[in-house]
Structures are given as C-alpha cells and as structure tokens.
Structure 1
C-alpha cells in the first residue's frame, strides 16, 4: 500500500507498438518544432471516477490494445528523433513504440486531487518522464502513457515530446485514444495530416550544444499552482465590463444610448441564460444603424481577451513592479488557420508562435481592463500570414531554442486553450471530472487555459506563480470577483 508520503507507486512498465507497421516517411522538424527541443515533454491528462467492480488492472490489456491502434494513426508518437549529417532533425516513424506505465495511488481519492485550493503535489506523480527534455527523443520514447489507479478513480496521463506535438496535435491524439477504447477499435474521426509543404519547413539548421539543449528556466524555483475557475456567467459579466461604453455615449438621431443601457440589457440577457455573444450582436447591430451619428471605435473584445486583460492587471499589481518596468504578456497562437494557404486543422506537429504584448506596469494599472484588452487584441489581430512569415524569416536568420521562462520578473506566458476538446474523452466509463498537468514547463507567470468541465464557455486557468505573488492575486478584488467560489 502506498504511503501518504509516497502515494504513487509504479507497478509495471512495458512498450506498446503500433498494431500496423508505419509507412510514413521521415518528417522534417519545422521552425515551430525545433525551438521546442529545449522544452520539457508536454504532460497532460484526465481524471476519471470509476464505479465498476472490475479492477483497473483487468482493463489494462484493453487500454494497451487501444493505444496500439491509436499509434497506428499517429506513427510519429511511436518513433524517435534523428539528426542527419547536415544537422536537420527528423521525426522517424520506426515503430520503436511508446512506454506504458501502470501505477497505483490507493490512498488518494478524487476529492484529494480536485478539492483543495492548490493543486496537490501528488498530481506530479501521475506522469512519467518527469524532467525529460524534448531533445532526448533521439534515444527516449516520444510518448509515455501512465494509468494510475486511485482509491475511487483513475488518472490517464500522457507525456509527449513537445518538438513533435503542440496542444492541438496532443489532444487530437488523446481524443483518438479514448475513442478507440470506447468504440471497440473503430476510428471514424480526426485523421491527422502529416503534410510538410508550408512555410514552416525550412533549410535552416539549429545548432545544438554538446549533450543537447537544456531548459531555460529554474526548475527548482519555489512555486504555487492553483486552478482558478470562471463560470459562463462570470465570463459573460467580465466581457460586458471590458466592452462597456459607460464613459462614451453613442449618439443617434432620436436620442442618446449610453453604455449603462447596453449593460442593463446584457445583465437581463445573462439572467435569462442567453448566449454570451448577445452583447457583441447588440453592439454590432447598433453600429450598423444609419442613424448613429458618432460612435466610439468599433471593437468588440472576446471572452478570452477579456480574461487575459484581467490576468495581466492582477499579476502585475501583485508583483508590485516599478511603474516604469516593462511587462510582457505572451500568448501562444495557433497558426494553422492564419497562414495563407491555410493548414489542415489537424496538421500534426507544432504550428504555434508566441505573440508578445508589451506595456509599462504603470500603464497596465492606471488604464482600465478595456485598454489592456485592446493592446492584446492589437497584437493578435496583427499576427496574420505576413507576420507569421516574417517571424519564420527572423528565426531562419538566427535559429535558436525557445527561451521559456520569466527572466525579468515581469512576464506572463499563457498557453493551451479553452477551445481544446479536453473533456471529449470517454474511455468507456464516462467523461473526465478534471484535467491536470505535470511538472513540465512550469515557472513563475506560466498560465494554461482549459475549458471548464461544465462547458458553455466556462474556463479554468492553471496559474503558476511565486508564493508571494499568488497570495496577492488571491487578495485582488478585481480579479477574485469573477472567480467561482468552491
């Protein structure tokens, strides 16, 4: 029986190979893949409750078969990395296989994982390959799956090489794995696209130091990790606040309409349970009227931009930075649909770029949420096909690994996405009750956005901060008014 001090015990480990041999050609790593060679493996997984009398270890052969079938659809996950004589790095689908671990944590209950304020340390034990750097895929499996049996549930965690997948590709695989398990080996959806014909494929060579690149942040930094949940209603209210026109009137021929009227209508809409896009629809309808004489700028900010603006202000305030200190808010953006021509939505690999927005701490705090959202919106809107290509060109002139971390104490980096289908995973015993991540790629200021389990536009934010900054955020009235109470 695992002790409370060491609650997770690995019982077994084996290699799972694809049930069909791969015919996929070697895939050259792109300019979005190569910078990830210095990053940890992605560690994400789902927590499930189980009420079956059949012990989980009796289902392990089924899960292994399901993984084998899923790997046949995703051959790179059963391969290795290889560097040729010119320095180009490739994903080689050689059917070497993925690692499969079975572990037990019989002293841990589902409530222990999701019931507290901070994410408990035990969650880190639900993932294998802890501390693995993606460059190690030259000799380490690209994928490891760990199934951990809890007292009243099960956690299925995946550790996957970040130079092979981004979040879109990761959850495409995870969804497929679950679908195979649930549907009896029948796969009908989410065919990955392995095409390598875009601007992301380059002749540039990334020079790697002897022994391979290392992570660029302090892995031993003391940190707190907490999940902040935002309900659909709270995000609707936040979005309305950010898009508020209280301070400027919209003048039309037969009188004035001000922001208070619009906000009032939005509040009624919220109480009636209407979709949170109603405010956007109302404003756009008003802007289209011929009798509107003068209006403020026609920008409607999204729920996610509104949430990022809220985060930016709260964390900047909590850090007590000098007003002249430049703060950076980085967002990972999916380039698949921003490129021209567009990539397949299920393009397999990394197709992301990091978009920074800069502002002095004093400006972030002296302006309002709308101003912060507008700055973020400007950066995202400008990141079109031309901008993506310029970022590629700039990287080709100076190939380098991605400098992940908070080097100046004033940075925030947000990744993942509330649009990822994290809860569309039913292995045959129901949907997940929570999504959690491991120790990988975590530093002060790292945020990951997850969909809320209830759906309908709810969002969970996994927030990593220094203990003193986290305590200040928890006391921030502007921020906490939107956070769901447990």
Structure 2
C-alpha cells in the first residue's frame, strides 16, 4: 500500500521585517562557501506533538502566523538568507563571480503542507520512511540552484497528531553551525513573541556577517569557469537504507573508556571513540578485501582552529572534512577500537591554523567545487554534530519529539550525528546499501553499543 503524499496547501515568500542598511550590500562568498556550490542544501527538521490546544479551530492559523512573523524578524539579522545567488561574468579580464544579492529577491520561502499520517507512522518503522524526504523543499537541488530558488525555505507540515517544521538552507551560504544558529534564533523570536516581550533589534546571539578571507585575497574571488556545466554535478545516491541509532550517555562513556584504556591515554573523546566504532563496523559490514584502503572523515568546525580565531557566531562556511590516515581495511579490523580512535584523534589534533591556511592557499591557486563523488565508497563520513543545540527549538508545542533530515547530501557511508533528546546522548543517522545495513544490524560490537531510539507520543 502506497504512503499518502505530502500536499502543499499554500506558499508565500517572507521578507526581513525591515531592511537594514547592511542588507542592501552584496554578500560575498568565501572560498569555503564557493567550494559548496555543487553540494545539496542542508535539510533538517523537527517533529512536534500537537499540544492540547490543537483541537481549537484556530490553532494552525495562529501557529502559521506566528511562525511567519518570527521568521521575518530572524531574517533581519540573517538577511543573506532572503537573497538570491547572482553570477557576474566578464571576458577580458576573466571574471566569474558568484555572490548573494540581498536586495533583489522575493525573500525566503514559506510552505504550508499537510500529510495524512501520524507521528507513529514516521517514527515507528525501523528505517526512516521515504515520505520524510517530502517534508522539505529543494529536494535534490544543488546550492547553485540558489540563482533561481530561495536560499531558505521553511516547510510546516501538519500531520494527524503532529507538526513537522523543516528548514532547507543553501549550503554555499552557511554550514551546520550557521544553520542551527538561524534555527535557534527563529525559535528565540517565536518564544519571545509568545511572551509579548519581543524587541526585534535585540537577539541573544547575533550573527557575525563580516566575510573572512585569507590575507591578501577577497572579497572578490573569481572562479576559473565560463559556465556552470563545468562544475555542477547532480549526484544521485544509490539505493540506500536509512536508520536512526541511539547511543546513551552511559554507552558513550563505555566506548570512551574502552578506547582510552586500549591506548593508555585519556585524550580520546567520546565522539572520536564513537566515530571509530562506526568506521570499524561499517568496514566489516562491507566485507572489503583486506588490502582495500579506507579512511574516516569528520566534519570539523574550523572557527576556533584559526589564528586569530573566528567568532563562534561567524555566519558562513567554516568547516573542513578532517581525514584520518588512509589504511588498509584488514589492518583496521586487526586492531581494536582504541587504535582506530587514536588515528582519528591524531587527525583532529593536526587540523590547526597552519593546515587550514595551507588548504585555502592551495584552493586559491586552483579553485575547485566539491561534489558528492568526492567521497569514496570504502570510507565513512561523519557529518553534522551533536554539539548543535537542536532541541532548544520550541514553537509553542514543547520540546520536539525527534529530528529528521531530507534527501540531501546522503551516500553510502554517510553518518550524521545529532544531539539526542536525552541529555548526553547522541543519535546517529546511518545511510548504507541494504546488504551492508543488514550486516551492520548483525554486528555484535556495534549493536552492543547502539539501541533503537525510544519515543513516546500521545495518540
């Protein structure tokens, strides 16, 4: 039996509540922004249980009105998200400049939709149901599509007993840190509006929109292209199963203690130990030949690693995919958890100001645009971060039941780490081909540490 479809009821565009003087200027993209032009939008969302007052006939209309108003207030501070990408070309001398025009755009998009399914239909199945991909705008869009599509869309989908709020944001404009910073600010404005204390000029953590470039470069970075067909790659993922796994605070502590004990150290973090577990067990599940090379990448926030450091609330892309030493799968599996975790720890320690600026210098000498084919099929990529404050986002319906993501940026071996609903826990979204996922589900080392997320909702 086919699943019901998500029905779009209405669409509109939201402008910043008022236009600041700064918002009339162009927002230039840095090398780490431009490198993301062929990747997908960021798509993450939160599923809320309908509160008792949802029985009121005006509940949804009131919710939508408040969401739109608080979104317009948040866009005052994050005005690039209401803009559009523009490319300026010149032949002699060559110029291929992609930037954000913040003043000639209809704004961010807002979609009201409905789905004739319940929370249990979304959360109960072992695998994340495909219908979740329809809870987001910009399905399969790449960031370069921001020339004609909104750079930000909020989609609010009403379920039988819940509400899903999904944001899709152009990844060439900001990274996960910037994404959740915006989501948190939207929620802060909504909650202040509920208390009738909102002053739109004041938010607790305003973004820093000043562009950061390597000394001697920028703000105008010309790409060595004449047409987008030279660098845009519309990657289609193979058939994947997508599952959520839960790691309790206790389980993470055991992994960390085990990894440190095996290496006679105390320097390995819980997340490094967890990443090592995924690297080892996914490699084993893939049944790779012993001489097949493999590695593990961790998406790292670079703000604090630069010297001088960027502000924590710097808005843009400041991430780098830390890569472990490339080793043979047989060697990885012959050693224990601690050995793999130490490899990751060393890679994290080695990502410093010198390494980051070296990467940027190389990029400026030969600018490239990354594609999802950049990640090889024998490795593991740990994306997102459990450090993002995801469950502080409340929109008059209490704490979210769960977090889910869309189709974007998924491939075999992509693992996204999310803050768990319970303090100190982590949820992992694991994407693997069906055969490999079945092997992982039978892996004793993995399943001893993991559990299925537990949810409670009212019917």
Task: Decide: shared fold, TM above 0.5.
Answer: yes
What SS does the corresponding residue of 1:244 show, helix, strand or coil? helix
Structure 1 residue ranges without an equivalent (≥5): 246-295
Match of 2:249 in 1: 232
Match of 1:217 in 2: 235
Match of 2:172 in 1: 163
* 299 and 440 in structure 1: CA distance in 2 versus 1, 3 angstrom threshold: same
Per-residue CA deviations over 1:210-238 (Å, capped at 9, x if unaligned) read: 3454346333x110000110000111111
Match of 1:310 in 2: 277
Per-residue CA deviations over 1:95-133 (Å, capped at 9, x if unaligned) read: 62011100011x211122122211111211110111111
CA contact (8 A) 2:30 2:212 kept: no
What SS does the corresponding residue of 1:313 show, helix, strand or coil? helix
CA contact (8 A) 1:217 1:406 kept: no
Per-residue CA deviations over 1:407-451 (Å, capped at 9, x if unaligned) read: 642021111100001111011221111111001111111111101
5 Å matches for 1:208-357? 208=225, 210-212=227-229, 213-215=231-233, 217-219=235-237, 221-245=238-262, 298-357=265-324
Match of 2:8 in 1: 10
- Select 1:23's aligned residue among 21, 24, 42: 21
CA distance in 1, matches of 2:376, 2:152: 33
Q: RMSD of the alignment, in Å?
A: 1.8
CA contact (8 A) 2:154 2:165 kept: yes
CA contact (8 A) 1:45 1:436 kept: yes
CA distance in 1, matches of 2:435, 2:187: 39
CA distance in 1, matches of 2:222, 2:288: 39
CA contact (8 A) 1:78 1:95 kept: no
Return the offset for 1:84.
Answer: 2.7
Match of 2:368 in 1: 400
CA distance in 2, matches of 1:425, 1:172: 10
Match of 2:385 in 1: 417
2:149 aligned with 1:140: yes
What SS does the corresponding residue of 2:31 show, helix, strand or coil? coil
* 481 and 199 in structure 1: CA distance in 2 versus 1, 3 angstrom threshold: same
CA distance in 1, matches of 2:14, 2:261: 54
* 171 and 41 in structure 1: CA distance in 2 versus 1, 3 angstrom threshold: same
What SS does the corresponding residue of 1:353 show, helix, strand or coil? strand
Match of 1:391 in 2: 359
CA distance in 1, matches of 2:264, 2:362: 33
- Select 1:131's aligned residue among 130, 140, 165: 140
CA distance in 2, matches of 1:199, 1:42: 26
What SS does the corresponding residue of 1:147 show, helix, strand or coil? strand
What is the total number of aligned residue pairs between the two structures? Answer: 431
- Select 2:214's aligned residue among 199, 203, 214: 199
CA contact (8 A) 1:314 1:476 kept: yes
2:84 aligned with 1:67: no
CA contact (8 A) 1:80 1:137 kept: yes
Return the offset for 1:88.
Answer: 2.2
* 209 and 465 in structure 1: CA distance in 2 versus 1, 3 angstrom threshold: farther
